[in-house]
Amino acid sequence: MPQPALTVIQADPHDAGATALLHRSHALMRALFPPEDNFFLEIDALAAPDIRFFVARRGAEVLGTGALALREGYGEVKSMFVEEAARGQGVAGALLTRIEAEARAHGLPCLRLETGNVLHEAHRLYARHGFAPRGPFGDYPDAPSSIFMEKPLSPATG
C-alpha cells in the first residue's frame, strides 16, 4: 500500500502533534546549548499574529514543524524540527519551501535565521536551499553557539 503524500499546511502550534514535536525540539535545544544561547519561541509565542506556523504531515502523522516570523524588512525562519524517524525524507525541505512561499506572498525581500553551531545537518539543509552565512540580526546577541544565515528572495511572480 503506498504511503500517503507529504503535505505542509498552516496549523495551530497548540495542536497535539505539533505540540509534541515542539516539546522534543525544545528539549534537544536545552540539552545542546546553554540557556542564554537558546532563542526558540515558546508554543504560545508561535500562535502570535505575526507568526505563520506550519506542520508537515503524512496522513494524520505530524512529521515536522516550521514557522515564518514576519519582521520589518525580512522574514525569519523559526521552529524548524523534523521527527528523527522522518529525517532524510524531504520533510525539512518541504517546510522551507512553504515558508519561503509565504514570505514571498508577504513581499519580504529576504529570509533570515539563527541556528545552533553544532547542528551541522541543518547548516547543510539551509545551504542547499540558498542560505548563506551572515552576522547577527534583530535582537540576537553575537552568541558563540549561534550561526546566522540569510537568503534573498525575488518578488513573487504570477
pLDDT tens readout for residues 101-140: 999 999 999 999 999 999 999 999 999 999 999 999 999 9
Residue 155 pLDDT:
61
Task: Give the HSE-up count for residue 121: Cα atoms under 13 Å, Cβ half-sphere.
Answer: 9
The arrangement of secondary structure in 6-152, i.e. its CATH architecture, is 3-Layer(aba) Sandwich (3.40)
Positive or negative, the CA dihedral 48, 134, 9, 21 is negative
Residue 65 pLDDT:
98
Is residue 6 within 8 A of residue 98, CB to CB? The reply is no
Domain ranges of the chain: 6-152
CB within 8 A of 120, min separation 6: which ones?
Answer: none
Q: For 65-78, what is the mean pLDDT? A: 97
For residues 100 and 140, what is the distance between their CA atoms, to the nearest angstrom?
A: 22
Question: Does the pTM exceed 0.75?
Answer: yes
